[in-house]
Amino acid sequence: MTHSPDERDPRVAAAIGRYWKKNVTIMAILLFVWAAVGLGAGVLFADSLNAYYIGGYPLGFWFAQQGSIITFVILILIYALTLNRLDKEHHRDLARLNEEDAT
Amino acid sequence: MSVQAWTFLFVGATFSLYLVIAWLSRVSDTKGFYVAGQGIPAAANGMATAADWMSAASFISMAGIISTLGYAGGMYLMGWTGGYVLLALLLAPYLRKFGHYTVPDFIGDRYRSNAARIVAVVCAIFVSFTYVAGQMRGVGIVFSRFLEVDVNIGVYVGVAIVFVYATLGGMKGITWTQVAQYWVLITAFLTPAIAISLQLTGTPIPQIGLGSELVGEGTALLEKLNQIHADLGFASYTEPFIGNWDKLNVFAVTLALMAGTAGLPHVIVRFYTVKNVAAARWSAFWALLFIALLYLTAPAIGAFARYAMLDGLHGKTEQELPGWFHSWEQTGLLLWMDDGDGRLSYTGGDRIDENELFRSGNLGAARIAELKTDHQKWLDGNPDGRDGRPALRQAGLVGPDRDIIVLATPEMADLARWIIALVAAGGLAAALSTASGLLLVISSSVAHDLYYRIINPAATESQRLLVGRTVIGFAVVIAGILGIYPPGFVSQVVAFAFGLAAASFFPAIVLGIFSKRVGTYPAMFGMIAGIGFTGTYILGSVYGGWSSWAFGIGPQGIGAVGMALNFIVTLGLTPFFPAPDKSVQELILSIREPEGAGPGLDIDHSAEAD
């Protein structure tokens, strides 16, 4: 059995809408960092960043061959942690709505 | 024990392990065959994805490319890892929620069109076959270099092994074998890197070693490398945007590789194999973490080997040259054509005319022998002799073969013989794991998307499984034939597979998830425009002698433009075509909602039902 969206309880639809909006916001922030570090620091600004050093690494070179990869791993970690928590919150919200209906 | 005996031992032991795993994880239903029963734990799936992803090229050639390109090598590192961020954030959880078996499944259901499904099937098969041929060839090459057997015998052995575990266990057998293969390949890659880092910089962590000072020199390794490069005429190792690799091209290639990675069917399909959406997210994290272990080490190996080669070879006489030089000279990866002073000169850039170090490339053994004999006569002052260097320069064979960087690193660092054998087993693991993953995509595209979804929807479970096994069996054999008779275009096409995937699949899937408005025709025209433009441009540049007329972007980076074109065409046409019908709207809503308790559960079930 399936519900089409308009047959749904409007409160449930609102909860789903909130969930999706938060998801898209988190995604946009993380993708901004992804682009700023990978394509920004690693490519577009690599030549100017090379004037600075981190240990024996010129900074632009470091971003291109080390820093961006480390950032990417951390970004996915943050995404998995926050989204999986958001999922749980969402399910709690829905469970509360169900309880309200029952009482 | 000799290197060869160690290699036989390691290769024999790892191959037996793969076969045992295959037997233990054999399957009896299509769900097990295509998506491993959707019961693979996230971390194990991450390892399998990493092994699937890291091919013979990643293992053997990538460090060598970085070693030659310096800074610009970073576009491969960033492109192939940055793509996983797109995959994790934009695709993996939603495709897992969708719950079917393949990428064409999603395209076909979301856009309600068998034509779109067939376009996706053809793209998936094309990308996978070009890729897999290179892997089988890689197996043959590793065999011939380390065990001194014919390349073709190596391909036969590879075909036999993959045939057994792929037909027996399907995705389940492949996944668990890939977990084992990951450990073999990462151990083989890290061990020599750690040893050579200790030797050159005194720190066991290669990533720190690359940014450290050389032992006993008081200069940072990278600074020293830049100095040597400047002395010998090469372009700076760390300075960006030199020569062909200007800012725009590095940017375009990086972007095309990122989006292409996220659009490659054999990577996407891995995220169907885990238990649920949360596990799909974790799985993407584990996959990139395990991949990053190798990708963060490759630049270190590249720079260490670059230093060892320039420092160890330039200006040396025959007697002073290290032992590894002589052993690898026999393979043709290195070729020394002296100018008569008895000292090897390894130079580049504006001192390219002085360079005496070459490689055999695709020239036959007879031609090389002829060049060598004539060159020796020329050195001896014999009037019949001829300088061999201009001929090699003309053939584009200046400098050593890039594969030598990883293959010869253990010897450069004077490591024990068993480590050299370990590298051989690692190269084989990398090639086999990628090949098996690709073969499964081919099998599922034909047996599931074509046979079951289009030709015979009434097929029973056992019929579908039989077709799946038969197709994978045939695909292995075809891949083997392509490995033995490699079509000339394969090596070139593989590099472009990413551009094609970026320009076709990636926008269609992303818009399919994030837009409820985009309908069938805009998406199809978008895919056709993207892949058509990218494909034509690549063919025109490689075969038609086109100058890079699109903003000066070369064929490797053109996928980024093709992707933009796909997005523009799709979004531009959308207002003129109807929105998807109600059932598709529901499908989109259901994949956006996390699974679990609540009313979403019903929709979840309807989406899961096959």
Looking at A31-35, B400-404, B532-536, which range is the least confident one?
B400-404
Q: Look at residues B153, B152, B158 and name the one whose alpha carbon lies nearest to residue B15.
A: B158
Task: Judge residue A45's burial from the number of C-beta atoms within 10 Å of its C-beta, 0-12 exposed, 13-18 middle, 19 or more buried.
Answer: middle
Six token digits for residue B479:
């891949």
Which segments within B141-225 are labelled E, that is strand? Answer: none
What is the C-alpha separation between B469 and B474, in angstroms, rounded? 9
Question: Is A74's pLDDT higher than 90?
Answer: yes
Q: What is the 3-state secondary structure (H, E, C) of A60-99?
A: HHHHHHHHHHHHHHHHHHHHHHHHHHHHHHHHHHHHHHHH
Which pLDDT does position B79 carry in this prediction?
92
- In this structure, the number of other CB atoms found within 10 A of the CB of residue B369 comes to 10
Chain A hits for B596, CB-CB cut-off 8 Å, are 87, 91
Q: Looking at the complex, does the CB of residue B519 fall below 8 Å from at least one CB of chain A?
A: no
Share of chain B above pLDDT 70, in %: 96
Which pLDDT does position B140 carry in this prediction?
78
Six token digits for residue A95:
């469970």
What is the C-alpha separation between B404 and B5, in angstroms, rounded? 21
Question: Which of the two residues, B262 and B293, has the higher pLDDT score?
Answer: B293
What is the C-alpha separation between B212 and B222, in angstroms, rounded? 8
Which pLDDT does position B607 carry in this prediction?
36
Q: Look at residues B491, B524, B553 and name the one whose alpha carbon lies nearest to residue B134.
A: B491
Q: Looking at the complex, does the CB of residue B295 fall below 8 Å from at least one CB of chain A?
A: yes
Instruction: Tell me the domain boundaries of chain B.
Output: 3-23+43-308+412-579
Q: Look at residues B81, B85, B42 and name the one whose alpha carbon lies nearest to residue B58.
A: B81
Compute the radius of gyration of chain B from its Cα atoms.
Answer: 25
Using alpha carbons only, give the angle A46, A48, A51 rounded to the nearest 5 degrees: 105
Using alpha carbons only, give the angle B409, B413, B414 rounded to the nearest 5 degrees: 115
Question: What average pLDDT is seen over chain B?
Answer: 84
Find out whether B418 and B125 touch, Cβ atoms under 8 Å. no
Q: Which CATH superfamily is domain B3-23+43-308+412-579 in?
A: Sodium/glucose cotransporter (1.20.1730.10)
Chain A hits for B238, CB-CB cut-off 8 Å, are 50, 57-58, 61
Q: What is the DSSP letter of B21?
A: H
Read off the pLDDT band of A67 (50, 70, 90).
very high
Using alpha carbons only, give the angle B120, B121, B127 rounded to the nearest 5 degrees: 90
Question: Is B65's pLDDT higher than 90?
Answer: no
Report pLDDT digits (tens) over B168-222: 777 888 888 899 999 999 999 999 999 889 988 999 999 998 888 888 888 888 9
Contact B600 A94 (CB under 8 A): yes
Contact B211 A77 (CB under 8 A): no
Question: Which of the two residues, B598 and A65, has the higher pLDDT score?
Answer: A65
Q: Looking at the complex, does the CB of residue B254 fall below 8 Å from at least one CB of chain A?
A: yes
The residues, ordered by sequence, that sit 6+ positions from B193 with a Cβ below 8 Å of its Cβ are B206, B297, B300, B301, B304, B409
Six token digits for residue A51:
């004037």
Q: What is the DSSP string of B328-395?
A: HHTTTS-EE---SSSB-----GGGGGG--EE--TTS-HHHHHHHHHHHHHHHTT-TT---SHHHHHHT
Q: How many CA atoms lie within 13 A of B474 on its CB side?
A: 11
Compute the radius of gyration of chain A from its Cα atoms.
Answer: 21
Q: Looking at the complex, does the CB of residue B510 fall below 8 Å from at least one CB of chain A?
A: no
Least CB–CB distance from A27: residue in B89, B250, B292: B89
What is the C-alpha separation between B50 and B434, in angstroms, rounded? 9
The residues, ordered by sequence, that sit 6+ positions from B605 with a Cβ below 8 Å of its Cβ are none
Six token digits for residue B207:
């990533």
The label of the residue with tokens 């480590």 reads B419
Report pLDDT digits (tens) over B33-44: 777 777 788 888
| Binding-face residues of A in 36-95 toward B, CB within 8 A | 38-39, 42-44, 46-47, 50, 54-58, 60-62, 64-66, 68-70, 72-73, 75-77, 79-80, 83-84, 86-87, 90-91, 94-95
| Residue A60 to chain B, least CA–CA distance (Å) | 8
| Residue B335 to chain A, least CA–CA distance (Å) | 30
Question: Is B235's pLDDT higher than 60?
Answer: yes
Question: Is B338's pLDDT higher than 60?
Answer: yes
What is the complex's ipTM, to 2 decimals?
A: 0.90
Q: Looking at the complex, does the CB of residue B594 fall below 8 Å from at least one CB of chain A?
A: yes
Q: What is the DSSP letter of B73?
A: G
